[in-house]
Structure 1
Amino acid sequence: MQLRSNGNPMDTFDKSTSPIDLTVLSRNVSRLSGLLTRDREALPAAYLKDPDLRQAYLRYFVPANISKIHLPLRELSLHPKGLLRKDRLKVLDLGSGPGTALLGMMEFFSHHDHKPVLDCTALDQVGENLKDAERLFTEWRENTGMDASLRTLRSGVDRAAARLAGDPFDLIIFSNVLNELFHGNDERTEVRRNFLLGLLNQLMDQQGSCIIIEPALRETSREMLEVVCGLPAQTAQFYAPCPASGLCATLENARDWQHEEVPWDPPEIVREVDQRIGLRKDALKFSYVVLRKDASSITDVLGLDAWRVVSEPLISKGKAEFYLCGSEGRRLVVRLDKDWSDLNQDFGGLQRGAFVGFDGVLDEGKRLKVVKETKVIVKKV
């Protein structure tokens, strides 16, 4: 499914830029992109205090990051218990930056049949980020027509529980934040886990949800899973992305990591920058998990027999393969070209992130095998 934005809200970013300004913007985007990927060790704390990096983030990275929250919100909205169908939702965006995730949430609900009142809190240690958040939130609210309010709180994320104690939230969002917490600490996995445990215990409602979104890098994706897989079940259980529980099978092999890749139609300013610096932002790539205190799960929507496709199609001579994750862990599934049939024809069209079921698949131990008699069932979400 391609994610797109309402035409009016995205006009906030798709403004004309002079050639000179575009050159400066492109240079700053290239610098920030390097710091967020290959040069992560050099990424300074509170890096958005730098006005050049902040402008690069606002003009180039925010438009893409806005839409990343749509997928976890959509999967939460499908649950038969109506997890998001309250009249009013209290939302906390931790390490909010300019409020990117809150903008995406407003946009999501503006297209949804149920439009709750949104009481939002944005917490960030950079005052300039919060000023941008207030400005963008006001513009987005007007353009989407959502009934939403925003309060801002200048604070480090590590002090959030103390600053907001006794104020439980229906939805807590970490968008590109977890990987920046305690980054230089050799024991950061355990420190992050203890921090997250305390925060969810104190700030998340018993029927609430926590969405964690991270960059689609092997290091950040695996570290996120290492943190959340060690949380006690009474505090946080997996809702999504995978119909699994316990230790994520992705962690069994140090070379593996899991991320989404969703087609995206970028605004013109992003295309122009890409042409200048050689990037290609035609898809949204990110890793995420959704946590809840109860046992609600995406399996309540899809069934325990559902698998999620967690790789690109692996095409070689005479066959197509995919990696899947499900209640049995991580498995490889194959269909030989000679075994194509009307029953399994949808196998070849599977993409990363799709949910699928099988009727009559063969378990060969090291892999699952789709044969002519296997029915491939793509589960719509």
Structure 2
Amino acid sequence: MSEAYSRDLERWIPRLIAVWRQARRKGDGPETRLTPQEVKEVGAGVKQLSLGLTRERQLAGAKYMDDPRLLGAYLLFYWPVSYAQARQALGELPNRPRQVLDLGSGPGPLAFAAMDAGAKEVTAADRSKPALALARALATEAGEALATREWDPTRKAPLPEGAYDLITMGHVLNELYGTGDGAIAPRAALLEQVLAQVKKGGSLLVLEPALRETSRALLKVRDVLVGKGYAVRAPCLFRGNCPALVKESDWCHAERPWPMPRVVEELARAAGLHKESLKMSYLMLAPAGEPWPEPTPGRLFRIVSESLEGKGRQRYIGCGPEGRLGLALQEKHRTEKNERFFKLQRGDVLSVTETEPKGDGLALDDRTEVRVVAPAGKGVPPPPAKDTP
């Protein structure tokens, strides 16, 4: 995570703590951290949320944000996480948004991330009145203008009116319409409705948990929309059905280094969670009628795995316009031109030359040139402008 994003998030921590203490109407403490008793109390709520949303999943779709204890745990732990995830994904937008709608906003981590990314008019919409009240309190604490609307997709409520440069949905889709493949069609239909309110040149950003189940479900929704002609702005370079769905054991998610704020680190420890990096699945979609982005020239792959280092070689899984392939380079073929291959991160987009088919992928060698055209969290640059006669 960039230093700028981290600094922005650090400014939100005392605001989150202040609003939480105001809402519970008891207890004073340090502005920038929780007391040991507060850590213990909130940590128990974080543990319950983690079990209910990422393991046992019994809270998925439930009105847990109407529970003051769980809403407080979300505000102090998952809000910073979601904000950081959003800032990473927003770094890939082709244009800076002005008007933004955050659907299923909760207390607004994505809404405020969009503000910090340059948005001027932001609306947060959610079915939870207590969550929206906290979002408004945060806006007041920060001196920002935030509009709020009630929106309950489980009751087929109409979307807030208007057209937007960016619509965000953070950890919302996986909690709608049940589980299993029966949820895919209604989720895709909802995203089509949402995309109808995205302006030309704008985007719909969907963030989801990095779990295998939720990631694969998002990829299936992606395939439905791609099949109907919608274009993916990020992270996909492959324009057909997602190759990560071929094997049941595969899925696709992003992972970014993250210097955790102290309050998040303390709550993770209290809840018995290991959160050393930011993990998420995400999809950035263009509205109907817009083409897929044309990337910079070259044989491109996005790194979609961790380092698969073996004895005497480096290996990753890459996904590009030609599909999902293994990429391997032996240490003995290491040169100045391909040195960058040994230092890649999940999410980097690279250009490679001079490869040979081998097994389920490509072998790189001492002839290969490796160039990172877009580091993780940055958009793939377009082709150079053509000279006009």
Q: Same fold per TM (> 0.5)?
A: yes
The residue aligned with 1:74 is 91
Deviation by residue 1:279-309 (Cα, 9 ceiling, x = unmatched): 2323111010100025455543x44632100
Q: Is residue 2:106 matched to residue 1:97?
A: yes
Contact 2:195 2:286 in 1 (8 A): no
Q: CA deviation at 1:359?
A: 1.7
The residue aligned with 1:190 is 185
Residue 181 of structure 1 is aligned with which of 171, 176, 190? 176
The residue aligned with 1:306 is 300
Q: Is residue 2:1 matched to residue 1:5?
A: no
Measure the CA separation in 1 of the matches of 2:40 and 2:244: 41
Residue 17 of structure 1 is aligned with which of 34, 41, 54? 34
The residue aligned with 2:27 is none
Give the SS at the match of 1:11.
Answer: helix
CA RMSD of aligned residues (A): 2.2
Q: Is residue 2:307 matched to residue 1:317?
A: no
Contact 1:161 1:199 in 2 (8 A): no
Contact 1:47 1:53 in 2 (8 A): yes
Measure the CA separation in 2 of the matches of 1:62 and 1:168: 26
Measure the CA separation in 2 of the matches of 1:47 and 1:222: 24
Superposed, 1:108-123 pairs within 5 Å as: 108-109=117-118, 118-123=120-125
Q: CA deviation at 1:139?
A: 3.0
Measure the CA separation in 2 of the matches of 1:303 and 1:64: 35
Give the SS at the match of 1:314.
Answer: coil
The residue aligned with 2:44 is 27
The residue aligned with 2:373 is 379
Residue 162 of structure 1 is aligned with which of 144, 148, 158? 158
> Taking structure 1 as reference, are residues 238 and 163 closer, same or farther at Cα in structure 2, changes over 3 Å only?
closer
Measure the CA separation in 2 of the matches of 1:152 and 1:128: 12
Measure the CA separation in 1 of the matches of 2:241 and 2:62: 31
**Unaligned residue ranges in structure 2 (runs of 5+):** 18-31, 379-389
TM-score where L is the length of structure 1:
0.87
Superposed, 1:1-381 pairs within 5 Å as: 1-2=1-2, 3-6=5-8, 7-13=10-16, 15-43=32-60, 45-77=62-94, 83-84=95-96, 89-109=98-118, 118-140=120-142, 142=143, 149-158=145-154, 162-165=158-161, 167-184=162-179, 187-201=182-196, 203-231=197-225, 236-293=230-287, 294-295=289-290, 297=292, 299-300=294-295, 302-303=296-297, 305-364=299-358, 366-380=360-374, 381=378
> Taking structure 1 as reference, are residues 298 and 287 closer, same or farther at Cα in structure 2, changes over 3 Å only?
farther
Q: CA deviation at 1:137?
A: 2.4
Measure the CA separation in 2 of the matches of 1:180 and 1:61: 16
Give the SS at the match of 1:246.
Answer: coil
> Taking structure 1 as reference, are residues 100 and 360 closer, same or farther at Cα in structure 2, changes over 3 Å only?
same
